[in-house]
Structure 1
Amino acid sequence: MQRVRVSSHQAPVHKLGDSQMTLSPKFRFAAIQSSLSDPSLELELSRRGEPLIPGLPDDIALNCLLRLPVDSHAVCRAVCKRWYLLLGSKEWFFTWRKELGFHDPWLFVFAFHKCTGKIQWQVLDLTHFSWHTIPAMPCKDKVCPHGFRCVSIPHEGALFVCGGVISDVDCPLNLVLKYEMTKNRWTVMKKMITARSFFASGVIEGMIYVAGGNNTDLFELNSAEVLDPDKGIWRPIANMGTSMASYDAAVINGKLLVTEGWFWPFYFVPRGQIYDPKTDNWESMAAGLREGWTGSSIVIYGHLFVVTEHERTKLKVYDMDTDSWETVEGPPLPEQICKPFSVNCCDCKIYVVGRNLHVAVGHIFRLNPGSTLEKKWSFAVQWQVVDAPEAFSDLTPSSAQWQSPFN
């Protein structure tokens, strides 16, 4: 196991931008004005022969500057006027990155303060292992962070936050918010048809599906709906075969898998449902799949993996042919990653964000079959730990979503 120290000096966390958000009655969000720098000024500076980097053509210099980690922008803006113009506007900065085809992955972590319950987003640059923030998603009322569901559409650089619940009155929400990386701002989308919390969510072919959860009377729901992000329209889909809140969900082979999960001690066998958008039909989950789903899931190499919460936090993988789970070779989750944790993946790596926002990066390897007669692949994992700044010591993750925009 390899450990990576982000910074020995605990550098301050910088914000991507400021916000002045308004939304009533429960939330206030900013309508952020476009802050693109004046292109005419940039053109004038270039005509006066002021290079971005002395000795380099501007196209090469721009390619270099667009690789700067976001947490260094505040300092770098002081170098010269052209750097100030380029790095002073996140909208312009990301527009240039999009034009040049940059798609460095970021991990968006929805976290809350364990004492105050205040929610916030922290972003880990997976290339530089540096942290920064995005505009706040403030809430006047105290909410339960776990009641929200967050999904991302990486190739569009879009992050969605749906539902939630107000803690004081146990009132679920039907709010839907969208964060766009290129604009560095939150916008309010059309509300869900049904207010819900602790529900399942997933993205299939660019469409956002939600199902189940708790309603305003805290009864479990069997309803489900889908959002077309381009049109901003929700429509109902077939109801689930049973009413239940969701413990975890995953999308595999174009289907949404929903499980209510195990609760310790294991008094009740968990239920599970699978939705096929092609037929608009739900079916019961296989017994081995739902009974072995004892943690947070990710899909890699077309296989469903789970970071277990009860079996020494080992990683295991589901075998569809035998309806059984197998332990992945390698060590368990590093001890520094304390529960509760949130899990996501990018390419062939698993990112597990634990309490205090320390991150375990699991490299998944496919092992060749032992013989020519054996067709089944097996897997192994190696872990490394990215330590978070001490400033995050009171933060607990509720969700983690990766973005690799502009693919």
Structure 2
Amino acid sequence: MDNKGTTSSRDESYQPIIPGLPDDLAMRCLAKLSHGYHGLLEVVCSRWRSLIRSSEYACAKAQEGWSGNWLFVLTEEQIKGPWNVYDPEADRWHPLPPIPWANSNQRHLGFSCVCVAKKFLVIGGYYTPSDALGQLKKFTATNDVIQFDPFSKQWSKVASMRVARSNFACAVAHGKVYVAGGCNLSSAITLTHAEVYDPVEDRWQEIPPMSIAREDCVGFSSGGFFYVVAGTDNREEQKTAEIFDPVKGSWYSQQNFWLFFRIMPCPVTTVEDCIYIIDDWDGNNVKYWDALSGCWVNIGPVPSVRFSDISHAPKGFGFGLIGFRNDLYVIGGKVLKWEPSDGHWRNVEIVKLNVVRICKLSGRQPEWREVRSIRGSHGAVVGCAVLEE
């Protein structure tokens, strides 16, 4: 009698995940929902909240490869705080869990971030405190690499780079992560060194060095090649791209490729192997590289942010730029707001933005639209990457 009573009690306390559906089918239904909806699911009931946060749910999504699409963003206001992530399907932002071992009294700068093998990696850079005036103190670069798993929603450490570096070029090609250049001390010892990370083996391996040492350089991949541009104060070298061929395992140079003479790079990304930039010295025009003509072609300017108290459109800078499918995402940034007065500027103000604008590249003319603004964060973007399901 006691056993029967216990069984009956268990049956009465059982609650299905979704009434009317077997639990295995209900689990698949919930697992297909992307991460932007998880906050809403968790407030439905305690059973769902526990389920969404469980390893069982993470495994169900991982087995099917249902990672969802993630746009990772870190702005200057968040250097001490968690990353923000955007779900294009849900049109929602939410913060990532904080990195467990991060020191809240330090700022992480000079890093690179990419997505590979359905993981988000934050690579290298340096950690430094700031004094009362916000001036950065001397630093030593790190070779640490940390990864975020979109299924378990947890951070972990993976294999470290062979050489510590900050302010370096980084990109993914053929499913591997390539890094090159940068510096490893605040005394600006600029590097030619390059290496590649295999996420399957969790191992870094050296590749041939670049011919030119570059710091504050930028990297991207196109056509399966790893490009490194900018980062040198020599005008001719600045215009030259160094390109690594992973198949041949060697570098070659392309003269008169880069648009800018200045050392600091502009925002750059690729969509279906086409290279796009925002030229913040030319009216914030979006441009792409036309390989046939060997020149940069204007698409049009990033729409200006308007203010009711000034008549002109202020200049923007510090944008994040990332390609996702056939869209360009222009994220955050700043604008220099001022009023003209007798040939001078007055009431100068730097305004931090949280707007997100999308340029659809299909069709003859670009189509711009705004989506939900970054949640709880503004300003220059110091890191962004996209993970596509």
TM-score by structure 1 length? 0.74
The one-letter amino acid paired with 2:370 is: V
Q: Does residue 1:194 correspond to 2:163, yes or no?
A: yes
Q: Which has the larger radius of gyration?
A: 2
Q: Gapped runs of 5+ residues in structure 2?
A: 1-8, 129-136, 306-314, 334-352
Partner-residue secondary structure (3-state), 2:76: strand
Preserved CA contact (<8 Å) 2:17 2:27: yes
Q: Deviations over 1:346-405 (max 9, x none)?
A: 1111112113432111111155xxxxxxxxxxxx42111124266324x54211111124
Q: Is the Cα contact below 8 Å between 2:36 and 2:87 reproduced in 1?
A: no
Amino acid at match of 1:125: D
Query: Do 1:274 and 1:282's aligned partners in 2 also have CA atoms closer than 8 Å?
Result: yes
Residue in 2 aligned with 1:52? 17
Partner of 1:16: none
For 2:140 and 2:183, locate their aligned partners in 1 and report how far apart those are by CA, in whole Å.
Answer: 9
| TM-aligned CA distance change 1:201 to 1:51, over 3 Å | same
CA distance in 2, matches of 1:66, 1:321: 45
Say if 1:305 and 1:235 are closer, same or farther in 2 by CA, change over 3 A. Answer: same
Tell me: CA distance 1:107–1:78, structure 2 relative to 1, closer, same or farther (3 Å). Answer: closer
8 Å contact 1:109–1:122 — kept in the other structure? Answer: yes
Q: Which amino acid aligns with 1:84?
A: R
Residue 401 of structure 1 is matched in structure 2 by 385
User: How far did 1:70 drift?
Assistant: 4.1
Structure 2 CA distance for aligned equivalents of residues 274 and 314 of structure 1 = 25
Distance in structure 2 (CA, Å) of the matches to 1:267 and 1:299: 24
Cα gap change, 1:71/1:46 in structure 2, threshold over 3 Å: closer, same or farther? Answer: farther
Deviation at 1:196, TM superposition (A): 0.8
CA-to-aligned-CA distance 1:96-152 (integer Å, 9 cap, x gap): 2334453531101123317xx52431001111111112221323553352x001111
Tell me which of 273, 296, 300 is aligned to 1:325: 296
Cα deviations by residue, 1:7-60 (Å, 9 ceiling, x for unpaired): xxxxxxxxxxxxxxxxxxxxxxxxxxxxxxxxxxxxx98997743333455566
Counterpart residue number, 2:373: 388
TM alignment of 1:3-402, pairs within 5 A:
50-56=15-21, 58=23, 61-66=26-31, 68=33, 70=35, 73-74=38-39, 76-77=41-42, 79-80=44-45, 82-89=47-54, 91-113=55-77, 117-137=79-99, 138-139=102-103, 142-145=106-109, 147-153=110-116, 156-167=117-128, 168-216=137-185, 217-260=187-230, 269-287=238-256, 289-291=257-259, 295-328=266-299, 331-336=300-305, 338-355=316-333, 356-367=353-364, 380-388=365-373, 391-393=376-378, 395-402=379-386
Q: Within 2, Cα distance between the matches of 1:267 and 1:283? A: 15
Contact 2:37 2:90 in 1 (8 A): no
Q: 1:131 to 1:321 in 2, by over 3 A?
A: same
Are the structure 2 counterparts of residues 85 and 164 from structure 1 closer, same or farther at C-alpha, using a change threshold of 3 Å?
Answer: same
**Shift in Å at residue 64 of structure 1?**
4.3
Cα gap change, 1:322 to 1:68, in 2 (>3 Å)? closer
Q: For structure 1, list consecutive stretches of 5 or more residues without a partner in the other structure.
A: 1-43, 368-379
Q: Secondary structure at the match of 2:59?
A: helix
* Counterpart-to-counterpart distance in 1, 2:259 and 2:384: 24
- Residue identity in the other structure for 2:56: W
Shift of 1:84: 3.5
The 3 A distance-change label for structure 1 pair 93 and 111 is: farther
Which structure exhibits the higher relative contact order, with contacts defined as CA atoms closer than 8 Å and separated by 6 or more residues? 1
SS in 1 for 2:57: helix
